[in-house]
Structure formats: structure tokens, C-alpha cells
Structure 1
Amino acid sequence: MSDQTGAEFNFDFWRNCEPRRSTYPACRAVITARYFNKEHAMLEAIQKGYYLLAKNPSNADNLLSFAQQVGIDTNEFLQLFGSDLLNQEFQQELQFVQQLPVHGFPSLVLYYQNQYYAIAINYTNADDVITRIRDVLTQS
């Protein structure tokens, strides 16, 4: 458990896995799951796998297991995951993110009246984040 946020975290990840800094495979898996209407379920499976089960989300075998857990046929998942179509969509999303007012991840961005606003994240005080969002809404 995190001392600061209270979030559960299985620290075995750092003992049992070879950490990789790329989140690209997990991002590609979420985009792939979107085609099966399982985007949120995949995101949740990846988060649970990483934080609670010490499963590396950069590992293709883990992503395939997560896909199966959320009800996606593994053959269909693999075919789309490695496709040119998926690669093009992933590249488009990367280009979109580069246009946003963010400098690191995770980030919170508010889209309001055709503009994007970076919202500072306070992991221990949701009211602080809500206040920042309200400030943007009232100043615009």
C-alpha cells in the first residue's frame, strides 16, 4: 500500500519482473481492445495486473492473458495488435498527445469549449483537483 495515496501496490513487481519503461505495448493493447468494445475492461485488467499481481504490462504474454480475461479471442487480439491498422491508429494517438498541454504522464487534461487545459494532479486530495477544474470553467 502506498503511504501517500493509500493505493494498493504489490511490490513483488520490482523483485520478480524486469521493469521496462515503455508503456507502448500496454497502450497498443488498450487501443486493440477498443475494437472489441473492451477498452475500459482492458485498462482495468492491465492496472490490476501491474499494481496488484506484479505482472509486467510491457510483456506480450501478460497482455494476451489480460485480453483473454476480458473476453477477447486471443487469436483475433494478436492479429489486430500486430496489424498496420493498429500501428497507424497508435501513431495518430501519439501525434494527438504531442499537441496537448502535457509534459509528463500521468496527466489530466480538460477539454472545454474547444480548448485543452492541463490540470495539476493532486493524488491525495480530489477536492483540490475539482477546484482546479472549476477554476478553468469559471475563467473561460
Structure 2
Amino acid sequence: METSASDHIDARIAELGDWRGEMLARIRALILAADPEAIEEWKWRGTPCWSHDGLICTGETYKSVVKMTFAKGAALPDPAKLFNSSLDGNVRRAIDIHAGDKLDEKALKALVKAAVALNQEKPAKKRAKA
């Protein structure tokens, strides 16, 4: 029997067994609250991902940080200044969350909604070369 992406994410949360698992569970709940139609995926040999008409973000866990990487983060409005990592690239942006950090849940939900809206925009038509 094949394991679903949601089952993989449940297992990751359980196996972490510390603040990182709790934070990943909170992030997951916030993403799904912001966009109940988000699809959970398990990619790149063990990375929880959420998509809706394209990748919204990933939820990576490291020794001292839980990282939310937004696929098109550089194009998203971030008035609450949540992005604090991967700031040099032209496409992605990330939020590094450390033990004890407080989440701005309202701002995070707004960021998820903005990411979905961006995914749903029609791509600009390429101009014909003269």
C-alpha cells in the first residue's frame, strides 16, 4: 500500500518529537486554514510541500530551524517582513523559524493566500520577436 503525502508529513511531525515537529504542525495547520484547497505533497526525498495551481511553499526541518520556502516569494508582498532568509535570489524567499519564535499567524496566512493568487494569475504572453 502506498503512503500518502499527508501520511508522510504526519510521520515527519511525529518523528521529530520536539519543537520542530510542533512548529511544522502549526505551519501546516496555518497553510490549510489559509487555503483549504491546498494539496499536500512529499517531494525531493522527504520535503513536505503545499501546492495550489503550482507550488506554494515547502516546510523543511533542520537541526536548529524550521524553514518555509516560498517558491515565488520574491514576487509576493511581505508588509509584515516575515521573509528573513534566501533574500538574495530572484525567485524564492524563505522564513527561518527558530525555537521560541512567535509566528505572526495573520501575516503568514496572508502570505499563503498571496502565493496562491500569484499561482492562479495567467502568465504574461511573450512578445513576438521583431
Q: TM-score, normalised by structure 2?
A: 0.29
Q: Which of the pair is proportionally richer in helix?
A: 1
Q: TM-score, normalised by structure 1?
A: 0.28
